[in-house]
Structure 1
Amino acid sequence: MIPGALSAVKRIEIFTAVFLSVTTVAVSVLDFLIYSETFKNIEGGILGWTGNLTLPLLLLLCNLMYFFILERRKAARRIHQAESGTRVHQLAIRDPATGFFNRRHFYEQLSIEHARSVRHGRAMSVLIASFDDLKRVEQLHGSVHADQTLRRLGQLLKENLRETDIFARYTSDQFIVLLPETAQPGAVRVAQKLRDELARVVKTENGYSRATVSIGVAGLEPTMKSEHELVDSAAEALHDARSHGANNVSWPHDGDTEPAPLALTS
C-alpha cells in the first residue's frame, strides 16, 4: 500500500479504536450504574429503557465502525492500484535518463496524429534536433556534466514549444518533436527560434557549457505513404544541416540550409 494511503488508514483506524474504546467504557459504566444497588429499585423509565438497549447499541456501533474501517481499506487499495498503474505507464513511456517521452511513445503519438492529419487534410511537421559536439563536452567535462547539459538543453527546447507539441528523446544526442497543425514553413520558423534559444551558455550543476544544435525539418507531403517517411525526411534534412557545420537548420525540397552566426567553441 502506498505510504500516504497507509498513513491515512492508520490514522482512521487509531481514531476509530480510541473512539470505540471510550464509547465501550462509557456504555459499560452506564450499564453498571443502571444495574447497581443504587438504581436497582428503579424500574422502567429512561434508565430501564437504556439498560435494555445497551448491548444492541454496542453491537451496532461495533459493526458500523468495522464497516467504516473496511471501506477505508478498500479506498486506499483502489488509490494504490491506480497510482501503481500510473507509475508503470509513466515508466513505459519515459526516457529514464532525461524524464522526457521516449522514442516508442513518440511513434505511437505520431501514428495517431498522422491518421488524423490524413483524414482531415491537416498539416503536421517533424523536427529532429541534434546537439553539436556533445561527445566533446563529455570528453572535456565528463559524462555527468554531459548528461546534465543534455537534460538542460532538452528542458530549454521543451519550454519553447506548445503544450500540444510532442517532444521526445530520439537517440543519445537527439530529440524529436512532432508539431501538429503546423506546415513546413511554420516548422522552419520554430526550428530557427529553438536554434537561437539554445545557442547560448547553459548552466549546469558542474559549471557552464556552450552548446548548439543542428535541426532537420520536414512537413507532411501528400506523396508520403506513411508517417515514417516524414521522420526519414526530417532525418535527411538533419544530415544535410550537419554536413554544413554546426548550428544549422535545414529542410527538404529547396535545398535551403540556414547557417547560424554562432559556432560551438570550447
Structure 2
Amino acid sequence: MTVRKSLAVLAAAFGLNLAVTGAVFAAPSPQAEAAYERGVAAQRSGDMEAAVTEWQEAAVEGHVGAAWILANLYDKGVGGVSQSDAKTYDYLLLAARGGQPAAAVRLGEIYLQGNERIGLKRNYAQALKSFEAGALAQRGDAQYYVSVMHRNGWGTSVDRTESLRWLLLSANKRYAPAFAELGRIHMEGEGVAQARVDGWGYLLLANRFGTPEQRAVPDELMAKYEGWMKPGEKDKARDMADAWIASHGGA
C-alpha cells in the first residue's frame, strides 16, 4: 500500500486531515518502510498500540508518512494515544523536515502563536520560514500566511506589494481567506486603489469556496460594507466573480 493510500485509509478511520498535497517525500530506508508497513498492518488488524510503536520506529528512521500520522494522532489524542502538544510538535518537525508541506504550515501556526505548555515562545522568523516552505510547495494556506507576515512585518519588513503578490497566489488556489482579505483591502482601499465592485466580487468568491467556518469572515465583511455599494454594483460584482471562476477552470 502506498503512503498516500494508507494515509487516506487512516484519515477516514480517525476523522483526521492527513492531506499530502504538494508533498515530495524522500524515499525512506528499507528499515523505515518495513516498520511503517508493519504499523499499517497492525492498524488494519485493530492493534493500535503495536501500530503506534511501529510508526514511532519508522518516524525516527526518517519515514515522513509515519511522522505525519503520529503528529495528527497526538494532536487529537486519538488512535489509543493521549493528546500531547510536545509529541505533536516533535513529529511535525520530523514530517516538515522530510518534505511534508502541511506539517510546515502547522509548525508555522505554532511558531506564530507560541505554546506555553511546551515552553515554546512566539517566533515570527521561524513562522515565516515554515510558511515559506509550504508556500513554495504551492499550498494556498501557506501562501496566505506568507502574505499576512509581509503585511504585518512579522519576521520580515512590511511590504504591501509582496503581501499582495502572495495573497493573489493563494486566491488562485481558491483559498477562501485570501479572497476575503482581497475583498477587504479593495473595499477599504488599503494598499490598493479602492474598488467596490472588485471588493464585493472577492467576498462572493470567499463565500463560494469557503468552508462553513471560513464563510463567517466574508459574511461579516459583507454586512459591514452593504451600505457602501451603489445601485448596480452588486450585479457587476457577481459578473466579476463568475468571470474569475470561468477563467480559472470553472466551478
TM tier, smaller: under 0.3
Structure with max Cα Rg? 1
The answer to which structure, 1 or 2, has the higher relative contact order (CA under 8 A, 6+ apart) is 1
Q: Which protein is richer in helix relative to its size?
A: 2
TM-score (norm 2): 0.22
Q: Which protein is richer in strand relative to its size?
A: 1
TM-score (norm 1): 0.21
